[in-house]
Structure 1
Amino acid sequence: MGTVRTIQRSGTRFYIDPEDSTIKRPGVTSIISMLPKPFLAFWNAKMVAELAVDSLPFVEQMHATAGREAAVDFLKGAARRYTKIRADIGSQAHDLFERMIRGEYVGHVHPDLEPYRAMFAEFLEAVNPELVRAEDVAWSDTHDYAGSFDAILRVWLDEEGKPTPDRSGVPHILIVDWKTSKATYADVALQMAAYAHADFIIDPDGNRAPMPEFDGAAVLHITPEQWAFKPVSIEAHVFDLFLTLRKVFTWDRETSKTVIGRAIAKSAGKLITGTERRAR
């Protein structure tokens, strides 16, 4: 029995069943990407405009030396490059958080990561959670999806739902996600609901375990300046919306390519005169 491998196909991540390599499930985040995000067009345009204004002499030089197409490629890649930088920092921070939640001593870290390390250390002291699982795969045969979750934690809460770091409160099992983005976005609820309602868990060795009964979900939002531990709804109506997106995903990647057939009648095309044929 092996680990759960992933592959990329047309921008979608698929998880390969470790027991049957012919079975692959689309990733949770790829399914959630079916949500309409019209604001991205404005953000993308803003990134390009800011880059053009802030680096005008460089763009002019590139246009003169490398050509118009190179200058256009440089500008239109502004949002993509920014997103990659943020994603790289997020991945490194997630790796750091996993090592810390497992009790590993991390020592000195890169200056870019130090603020995140400090904030996560504050969270561990203020909440004092117990790690149940980390970085395993939630797998659903029932609804055909899979995804890697950050952590399942046991957290002790008082009657008001606030953490008791001395563990004097009532223990709660939570599915938890770490976020290092600018803000906490609502679609994290869809992500957490998908994980919580999956059929089972697959660990790094390929072993399967039942998905536990959760008392709730939470997101730990960490920036270099602050952290916040926020409850997230994973109720049935949230999961139902995720399942709707799962259907939209199938439409987008499969069904939409089959609904329009070949033309049964069409124009004959441009008439070529005898004069035109002889001129060739």
Structure 2
Amino acid sequence: MSTDDTHGPAGATPDPAELVQDPAPRVPPYHPCPSCGERVKVNADGRLSKHPRRVPLPCPGSYVPVGPARIPKRGGDGWYRDPVTGQRLRSVTTTLNQGSAKEALTFWAAKIVAELALDQVPDLVRAARNPAERTEMIDWLRAEPIRRRDDRGDVGKAVHRVIEARILGETVPPSLLADGSLRPYLRHFFAFVADWQVEFEASEMVVAHYAHQYAGTLDYLFYSAPLAARLGVPTGTLFAGDTKTGGELDQITYGGHRRGVYPEAGLQMAAYRAAPYGWLRSGERIAMPPRHEVGVVLHLRPGGYRLIPVRCGDAEYAVFRHIQAVAAWSTGAAKTVIGQPLAPPDPPTTPIRQAA
């Protein structure tokens, strides 16, 4: 296991030139129409152009997506859309965010704001005497957790992008290769690959469950003889892996969890494991192979890595299904639960009889 930046040859960062591979196959300018069989021009969005079918009507194959354009993509609203069927599928991560409590995030945000406030006491005192500055200071303090989250998110996305390119043999943007802050993460990632004799089967693959109406993008699937031996399963067992770059190594939260690797990771991976379908880079939809009920989270930090086993079997998937119901309720039916205040009843119209 890599524990610091001085890890030996197995964890050494490869020459940047080794990371720059040929780009992934692209859709050719022309593609056979699945309806009429003719070779048809492909539009910029990956769909076949409008074309006739030997009759005065467009071919039903017009505008059909081909190649990678057939892979569902996530929109900014947290939903994937299948470009072939048109079906919308809620993102796994969106589901978890909307349907499960994030108590740890609440305490983390409070801690971040408190630390920043103590570091800025003179500015706080000055702002408290001026209403305009007071409002500005409150907004600035309140936004600090978002700034920290975005900074960590940018690092995580960059690390994922380089790892994905390395696994799939794609071109890595030169700007990422030139970013020295990413090198420790990559060094420890390659240490993980060497230490555990990892053989990757897939990376950043979109998977979906149509019947249960969700989709997501798994980090990677892999084989590892040492991991299989450690878990007492056959060498050919396929595992799911997920990389986390937040938190700190070996720190435990007040709730007893590892900081940066939370139990929801098991629910996320369980949803990916239960998804029957996935998409290859070519755009071909395939039936997903069986995966083991224990996956791993690779916790990457500049100071090293930890490989954390995570349960992601049927029991965890059952919990995810409950969270799906909560997410659907909280974003839908919850809006219809509380009604408008009731006005007091009108006074009685029948005169009250006076006593004799």
TM bracket, shorter-chain basis:
0.7 to 0.9
2:82·2:88 contact (CA, 8 Å) conserved in 1? yes
2:242·2:297 contact (CA, 8 Å) conserved in 1? yes
Distance of 1:176 and 1:94 partners within structure 2: 12
Who is 2:316 aligned against?
Answer: 238
Q: Map residues 120-199 of structure 1 onto 2, 5 A cutoff.
A: 120-157=189-226, 160-161=229-230, 170-182=235-247, 183-199=260-276
Q: Which amino acid aligns with 1:194?
A: A
Who is 2:250 aligned against?
Answer: none
Change beyond 3 A, Cα 1:207–1:239: same
Question: Please, which runs of 5 or more residues in structure 2 have no aligned partner?
Answer: 1-64, 248-259, 346-356
> Aligned-pair distance for 1:54?
0.7
Who is 2:166 aligned against?
Answer: 100
Distance of 1:66 and 1:260 partners within structure 2: 37
Question: Please, which runs of 5 or more residues in structure 1 have no aligned partner?
Answer: 164-168, 269-280
- Larger radius of gyration, structure 1 or 2? 2
Change beyond 3 A, Cα 1:86–1:129: same
Deviations 1:96-134 (A, max 9, x none): 211223356969541211110110111121122222111
Higher RCO structure, 1 or 2 (CA under 8 Å, sep 6+): 2
Matched, 1:111 2:180: yes
Equivalenced residue count is 258
Distance of 1:162 and 1:239 partners within structure 2: 20
Instruction: Determine which of 186, 208, 213 is the counterpart of 2:290.
Output: 213
Q: Which amino acid aligns with 2:289?
A: P
Q: Secondary structure at the match of 1:82?
A: helix
Could you tell me the TM-score, scaled by structure 1's length?
0.83
Could you tell me the TM-score, scaled by structure 2's length?
0.66
Q: Secondary structure at the match of 2:221?
A: strand
Distance of 2:108 and 2:228 partners within structure 1: 42
> Aligned-pair distance for 1:229?
2.0
Deviations 1:5-37 (A, max 9, x none): 22223xxx111112133x211111111122222
2:184·2:302 contact (CA, 8 Å) conserved in 1? yes
Percent identity among equivalent residues? 29
> Aligned-pair distance for 1:162?
7.0
Deviations 1:70-100 (A, max 9, x none): 1110011111111111111111111121122
Q: Secondary structure at the match of 2:263?
A: coil
